[in-house]
Amino acid sequence: MHALTALFYALETQPEIPVATAQRILFLRAQAHPDLEALKDRLTCEQTWKPHASGLENQGIRHTREAEGKYDLILLLPDRQRESIMSDFAQAHELLAEGGTLVTALHNDWGAKRMEQQLAEVTGEVRTLSKNHSRVFWTTKTGPWKTETLSQWKANGAMQRILDGRFWSQPGLFNWDQIDEGSALLIEHLPHSLSGTVADLGSSWGFLSDHVLRKCPNIRSLDMYEADARALECARRNTGLIPVPVRPRILWKDVTQGVGNACYDSIVMNPPFHDGREANAMLGLKFITVAAQALRTSGHLWLVANKHLPYENLMKEAFEHQSTVAETRSFKILHGTHPTLVTRQVRKKPRR
């Protein structure tokens, strides 16, 4: 929220940013803010992260996953990953009209000063202010930017093959260019006897789902839930050509808000525990609760978590049987079966 607050402070206080006169405004990686209301008629918001997209919807702001056209003013609130930020700069350049202004807000801890310098090397001139532990910097497209550098930034941030070509991924995704150590531990302990309907909650680019499809021949279906839309095409490519009869459904969903009326025999997951910059164990607790609610009474939950995260008490409440299957210095594998009525009562139909 620091960078978001700083961004709108700059729009309010810096007259050289043409927020009042711009006919078309684009907000890349947009987040809800009260001041968007005044821009509504001129505004396009691009957002690939489902929780933020839902926040925009709740404010009545339309959004898209891929903006098109040219814009007089582009606002950018990047993620923290370096290649992703620089790719966002390249995208903004393509979408910015001649004479248009790009305004970027970034938290200091995410390399704001360095990213400002990188942009200045490409554009020639950048103006800046500091606010709320963040930097807001802006530049105008009045002369030629270094297009070769921008093209390289775009390529570096695009979907690409990783791990000797075995998988597709993209900078900005969780552990985008390597197999997460926790997920690698989980697949060592997942039984190949998983069967029936299966879900992968927080599937990212599809490593766990790839394993389930290849090693669990008795599954009838697989649903992959992921909040980051950038991962969806990667997951489709990574799982779509596996020579098995099951074709997974890949769903753009915020798991913390539930999975509707879906019901599963088994769920596997490596739940997140960071919300932006901050560690937030509540995310994992919400994932466990949603999993328990979505499992059949005989269902199984298999999850990996960092060893310090306090999930055991909820697992005891949510499942008749739960155990710690394995532990290393950094991770633990938890297994729960037979979800309890306490968590499943929300699935009952209301009385008429």
Supply the CATH number for residue 86's domain: 3.40.50.150
pLDDT band, residue 26 (cuts 50/70/90):
very high
Domain end, chosen from 119, 140, 156, is at: 156
Mean pLDDT to the nearest integer, 141-170? 96
For residues 172 and 277, give the distance between their C-alpha atoms in angstroms, rounded to a whole number: 14
Would the pLDDT of 50 be above 70?
A: yes
Q: What confidence score (pLDDT) does residue 345 get? A: 44
pLDDT digits (tens, 9 = 90+) for 201-237: 999 999 999 999 999 999 999 999 999 999 999 999 9
352 in a structural domain: no
Same domain, 76 and 146: yes
Quick one: what percent of the chain has pLDDT higher than 90?
A: 91
CA 109, 171, 100, 71 torsion-angle sign = negative
The pTM (predicted TM-score) of the whole model is: 0.93
Please indicate, yes or no, whether residues 182 and 88 belong to a single structural domain of this protein.
no
Q: How confident is the model at residue 348 (pLDDT cuts 50, 70, 90)?
A: very low
Number of domains forming the structure of the chain:
2
Domain-embedded: residue 100: yes
The pLDDT assigned to 145 comes to 94
Same domain, 234 and 209: yes
pLDDT in tens, 293-312: 999 999 999 999 999 999 99
Residues 323 and 245 in one domain: yes
**pLDDT for residue 351 is more than 70:** no
What is the separation, in whole angstroms, between the first and last Cα of the chain?
Answer: 44
Residue 48 lies inside a defined structural domain of this protein: yes
Enclosing domain of residue 272: 160-347
Phi, psi of 331 (to 5 degrees): -135, 165
> What is the distance between the alpha carbons of residues 163 and 149, in angstroms, rounded to a whole number?
25
Predicted pLDDT at 196: 98
Beta-carbon count within 10 A of 274 CB: 11
The residue among 123, 156, 189 that closes a domain is 156
User: Is the distance from CB of 214 to CB of 186 less than 8 angstroms?
Assistant: no
Please give the average per-residue pLDDT across 66-80, as a whole number. Answer: 96
Residue 346 has pLDDT above 60, yes or no: no
Asked whether 338 and 297 are in contact (CB, 8 A), the reply is yes
Q: Which two tokens stand for residue 45?
A: 């918001």
* Per-residue model confidence as pLDDT tens digits over 240-263: 999 999 999 999 999 999 999 999
Token digits of residue 350: 């209301």
Q: How confident is the model at residue 349 (pLDDT cuts 50, 70, 90)?
A: very low
Cβ atoms of residues 77 and 31 within 8 Å = yes
* Same domain assignment for residues 180 and 303: yes
> Using CA atoms, how far apart are residues 203 and 255, in angstroms rounded to an integer?
10
Q: What is the mean pLDDT of the chain?
A: 94
- 264 plus 298 within the same structural domain: yes
> Rounded to an integer, what is the distance from CA 4 to the centroid of its chain?
18
- Tell me what pLDDT residue 132 has: 94
Buried b (16+ CB within 10 A) or exposed e, 252-270: bbbbbeebeebebbbbbbb
Task: Report whether 76 contacts 29 (CB < 8 A).
Answer: yes
Residue pair 154/87 in contact (Cβ under 8 Å)? The answer is yes
Question: How many H helices and E strands in the chain?
Answer: 11, 18
Distance of CA 271 to the CA centre of its chain: 12
